[in-house]
Amino acid sequence: MKLLIDIGNTSLKWALYQDGEIGPMRSARHFEALPIDVIASWEQIARVSKVLVASVGPQGVFEAVIAAARACWNCPVVRIETGVQAHGVRIAYAEPSRLGVDRFLALVAAHSLPTPAAAANGSGHRADTAAAILIVDVGTAITFDGLLADGTHLGGQILPGIATLRSSLLQRTQLPSHQTQDHPGIWGQDTGPAIAGASLQAPVAVAERLVHRLEQQTGVPPRLILTGGDAERIATLFDTPLEQHPDLVLRGLARFD
């Protein structure tokens, strides 16, 4: 049994992996340290032969994960880094280290996902060879990555996350933060709801435009895949059909077992 761990800027996600299957994903805010309750939950796992880690978060959290793995299971910890190519994916960046490993693993996972139809009938075939993919990861930052069906990474775009979009305006206004809670409508009828609404609609608008451009480029409607801790906050706002895969980075990690 393996333990898959995704260390982000603010959160930690993990799941067990055995016999080609990923178990339920769990998550916690780490506040730049490994939470005690996370360690306690890991202590309940009888045996882990290897820990696979992806980290774009604080080095201290990664070091704490190594210490916990040694204490709980005395097993190796393997940190996966971004490569030029892996599992059929070729990244666009000239310097691989400049592409976050979370984005890299999301690309690897997305390229290996079955189509929704294949998943429904149990065929397990890889994504339709005619369909490109747009991956939108909604977290501390919001990243957009285009992937052609042959595994070619086109590149991406990055926006500030929802919280950062709001806080950047709040720093320049006198609005209390509670006035910028999520606003479901298109038109905010006060300044707070207007800021809140735009912070949700902005990433949706970028994604919809990139989907349109991908379709123009390939001649086929692309798949839109949504992941990340804040994905649920914008999922219902899209006009384009989408797939949600909260464990996308962990799925990518599993490919390196």
At residue 60, does pLDDT exceed 90? yes
pLDDT digits (tens, 9 = 90+) for 218-232: 999 999 999 999 999
Residue 58's Cβ-side half-sphere holds a number of Cα atoms within 13 Å equal to 12
Secondary structure element (H or E) that encloses residue 123, with its range: none
Write down the pLDDT at residue 126.
46
Q: Residue 256 corresponds to which tokens in the numbers above?
A: 């390196």
Q: Residue 182 corresponds to which amino acid?
A: D
Which of 19, 37, 102, 190 is catalytic? The answer is 102
Q: Residue 257 corresponds to which tokens in the numbers above?
A: 């077992």
Dihedral sign of CA atoms 99, 105, 106, 107 in order = positive
Write down the pLDDT at residue 120.
47
Report the pLDDT averaged over residues 60-71. 95
Dihedral sign of CA atoms 101, 103, 105, 107 in order = negative
Residue list for the binding site for K(+): 137
For the chain, percent of residues with pLDDT exceeding 90: 80
Write down the pLDDT at residue 121.
47
Query: Per-residue confidence at 176, pLDDT binned at 50, 70, 90?
Result: low
At residue 189, does pLDDT exceed 70? yes
Query: Per-residue confidence at 192, pLDDT binned at 50, 70, 90?
Result: confident
CA 172 to chain CA centroid, Å, is 30
Closest alpha carbon to 6 in 146, 84, 106: 106
Catalytic, 102? Answer yes
Write down the pLDDT at residue 169.
81
Write down the pLDDT at residue 185.
75
Residue list for the binding site for substrate: 93, 100-103, 191
Question: Which ranges constitute the DSSP H helices of the chain?
Answer: 36-43, 59-72, 101-112, 116-121, 162-170, 191-218, 231-234, 248-254
How far is residue 192's CA from residue 107's CA, in Å, rounded to a whole number?
A: 36
Average model confidence (pLDDT) across the chain: 91
Write down the pLDDT at residue 179.
60
Write down the pLDDT at residue 180.
62
Q: Write down the number of H helices and E strands in the chain.
A: 8, 13
pLDDT digits (tens, 9 = 90+) for 99-145: 999 999 999 999 999 877 644 445 444 444 469 999 999 999 999 99
The length of the chain in residues reads 257
pLDDT digits (tens, 9 = 90+) for 146-164: 999 999 999 999 999 999 9
Residue list for the binding site for ATP: 6-13, 140
Report the pLDDT averaged over residues 194-216. 95
Domains of the chain from N-terminus onward: 2-79 (3.30.420.40), 85-254 (3.30.420.40)
